[in-house]
Structure formats: structure tokens, C-alpha cells
Amino acid sequence: MAKAQQRLSQVQSHLASSEADIPRGRESILRKSPDDIVVTCALRTPLTRGGKGGFKDTAAADLLAHTFKSVISRSKIDPNLVEDISVGNVLSPGAGATEYRAAALVAGFPETTAVKTLNRQCSSGLQACVDIAHAIRCGMIDIGVGAGVESMSTQYGPGAVSEFSELLDSHPEAKNCKVPMGALSEQMASDRSITREVQDAFAARSFQRAEAAQKAGKFNEEIVPMKAKWVNPKTEEEKEILVDKDDGVRAGMTVEGLGKIKPAFKKDGSIHAGNASQVSDGAAAVLLMKRSTAERLGQSILGKFVCSSVVGVKPLLMGIGPWKAIPVALEKAGISKEEVDVWEINEAFASQCVWCVKELGLDEAKVNPNGGAIAFGHPLGCTGARQVSTLLNELGRTGQKVGVTSMCVGTGMGMAAVWVKE
């Protein structure tokens, strides 16, 4: 009889498993339920400069294997209980499906742990976490890992985008999907009167916040140091180094200093290397399960996933993605922007981030309080998973509860997710 009742409860839970059925309103999403999709571990490697930093000679799969090992060791989860892993990646051929399955095996997950990879451009890491959360919510699996990884040092460049066929090139809107993001962001900044001065002020603040956070040790909890082989580009000497912090954070950055950097995409343009996200390498992972599962296994709960949104916008207006995605996620959660304590919005370009924050009417003090991708980097497939650890740690340090992660997405999309700190 007890088994029958347990099975009935499981079926009822699965029937009420869509995001339309989640509790709504701040009080509701703060309420605890056995069916909550919770995070019991969220961590990342340091983020390092593409082509120059500590991971320039490290394969993406090796970054991911180290991250997986760290999830197992920190959470003390039995790897045999993890049923599926989803990895976001943008630049690896086939999104790294073969080597990332191998990375999971190297890390200590058994052959019974399935692995998939996906590519939704800059939101790939978040999509990976959301896919695992949904798989748990609908009863497909009980425990899973959402992750993201990118080695832009080894795989970034023209080869990352395939040639369009005559059919795709013949369609005006489809053809816009291949316009370089720097060029379309430059055009958006011009069309919407986002001056270089405004962009540089935003970028300087990102660097200053990241520098202060790094000095205060605010990233230490989310970062797992890693030993890596590094080849000196001048002497070709190979040595092993310990990478234990984000190496793209530049000390003493000011608006005046940024003002001296030449435009990158247009002679009289406003976007340059100092007010756009850095080309970077890194990996991140998030361990997810139901609250009831976490409590049964004695897993510490960091926070929970509430809901997410994904939207499309015109390809040439890629940068406005968060502006469209965030209200949809807030509506699903039944909360207002004023009820959000911290926003982690990816700084692909200062131009688009400034515009989204202004148009949404967000409190700038709550947006990327420890800096963002302009200051410490944007490894494309990694960022969405990285934001989860950064957000939950900041909420915990400040005694706050509700956070949102979001980003614009290449070819014209946006994604956002609502999270609650335990």
C-alpha cells in the first residue's frame, strides 16, 4: 500500500511539472517544497585571457574534466547517482559531443551517466542547466549536471561559422544571422545613441567592481584552482602553472584609460577591446536535483531554480535579447523587477548591456555588482553556467534571496532564468 501511495505521489508530481505550474510571487517562490529543483553545488574554473592567459594551452575537455572532478569532490555526490550531464559549448565541432562524454568518464562518472552537448550560442551554459532542471522536474531523471565550457584560445576564429548556402543568402533576414556581432553592436549603438562615453563609463565600473571583488576574495568560493601546462610564446619553454584566479581583471582601469583605446570595428566607432567582453577560456558546472532527493542524500542546498525564458529578436538586434527575455521570466515567476535582489546580465558589449538596463529600468547597483564579462571574460559556452555560481554566492554573502541571470544570444535571441538563494 505504501509503495502504491508513493507511486501515486510521483505520478501527480510529474503531471504538475511544467513551468506553468510553479509557485508565483516572491513569497511563493521563497517557500520550500519537496519538488523544488535545487542546486547543491555550483563552481567554475578561473576565467583566463584567450591566447595569452593561464589556459591558453589547455583543451576545453581538460577544463571540463577538472570541473566535473571538482563537483564530485566538493559535493561528495556518489557519481553513480548522476544520470545525465548537459554541456553547453559553442566552438567545438559538434559542440564537443565526443570529447565531453570522454571528459565525464575521466572525471569519475560511470558509463551509466549519459552526456549530451548543445549549442545555443552565448546562452549554451544556461540552456544546459535549464535542460537538466526540466528533465528532473518532469521525472526523466533524478540527478543531473548542467555545465558549460569554452576554449576560445584554441577554437575561436572564422572557422567557427560555416558558409551559408545560396538559399540562406537569398533570404534577407536569414542572411543577417551571419553579420558579425561587433558590427551589428556598433550599428545598434549608433542607431540608439549610446555614446562611447556612456559605454566606457559602464566598462570602467565593471573593471573596478571586479578588481574590488577579486581583492576581497569574493570569487574564491566559486573558483576551483587548476594546474595547467603553459608554453612561453617567446622561449617555447613549457611549464606547469597553478591558475587560481581570473587573469583578465585589469587593476586601476578608468574611463580616461579606456578612452585611449582605438575602435575595433569602425574607424569612428564606439566599441573597442576595453568595452566589450573578453575572449576567454573556462568551464563551469551546476549539480541539480529535487529538494527531497538532496535532503535524503544529505546534500547541502545552495539555492533553487525557479523558471526560465527564451525569446527571439531580429538578428541585427541581437543585443536587446535580455530586454525581451527578462520580463517573460519575471512574468512566469510572478514577480516584479523591484523584487529581484541581484541581476547577472552578461556584458557581451557595454552598448547592449547599457541599453537593456536602461530600458528595463533596473537599479544599476544591483546589476553585476562584482563586475562582468567585460572585466573577467566571456567563454561563450561557459558563461550561462558560470553566472549561476556567481549569483548564488553574491546572494549568500549579502543575505539576499532572489536573482536573475540573463544574456543576449547570437543570431538574435535572449534568455533569462530566475533563481532563489537558500
66 part of the active site: no
Give me the catalytic one of 129, 353, 382, 408.
Answer: 408
What is the chain's pLDDT, residue by residue, as a tens digit (422 residues)? 455 555 555 555 554 555 566 667 899 999 999 999 999 999 999 999 999 999 999 999 999 999 999 999 999 999 999 999 999 999 999 999 999 999 999 999 999 999 999 999 999 999 999 999 999 999 999 999 999 999 999 999 877 778 999 999 999 999 999 999 889 999 999 999 999 999 999 999 999 999 999 999 999 999 999 999 999 999 999 999 999 999 999 999 999 999 999 999 988 999 999 999 999 999 999 999 999 999 999 999 999 999 999 999 999 999 999 999 999 999 999 999 999 999 999 999 999 999 999 999 999 999 999 999 999 999 999 999 999 999 999 999 999 999 999 999 999 999 999 999 99
Q: Which three cell numbers stand for residue 286?
A: 551546476
Longest dimension (CA), the chain: 76
- Residue 316 sits at the vertex; the CA angle it makes with 310 and 322, to the nearest 5 degrees, is 35
Enter the pTM of the model: 0.94
Give me the catalytic one of 66, 353, 378, 382.
Answer: 378
CA dihedral 110, 113, 118, 122 (to 10 degrees): -70
Q: Are 38 and 271 in contact (CB under 8 A)?
A: no
Kindly tell me the burial class for residue 314, based on how many C-beta atoms sit within 10 Å of its own C-beta (0-12, 13-18, 19 or more). exposed
Q: Which of 378, 336, 331, 373 is nearest to 353 (CA)?
A: 373
Q: How far apart are CA 174 and CA 164, in angstroms?
A: 10
In angstroms, how far is the first alpha carbon of the chain from the final one? Answer: 34
| Angle (deg, nearest 10), helices 97-107 and 60-75 | 40
122 part of the active site: yes
Kindly tell me the burial class for residue 235, based on how many C-beta atoms sit within 10 Å of its own C-beta (0-12, 13-18, 19 or more). exposed
The residues pairing with 307 across neighbouring beta strands, listed in sequence order, are 418
Contacts 24+ apart (CB under 8 A), 262-266: 264/182, 265/180, 265/182, 265/183, 265/185, 265/186, 266/183, 266/186
272 part of the active site: no
Q: How far apart are CA 116 and CA 262, in angstroms?
A: 41
The residues pairing with 420 across neighbouring beta strands, listed in sequence order, are 304, 402
Give me the catalytic one of 122, 307, 353, 356.
Answer: 122
Q: Which three cell numbers stand for residue 385?
A: 553556467
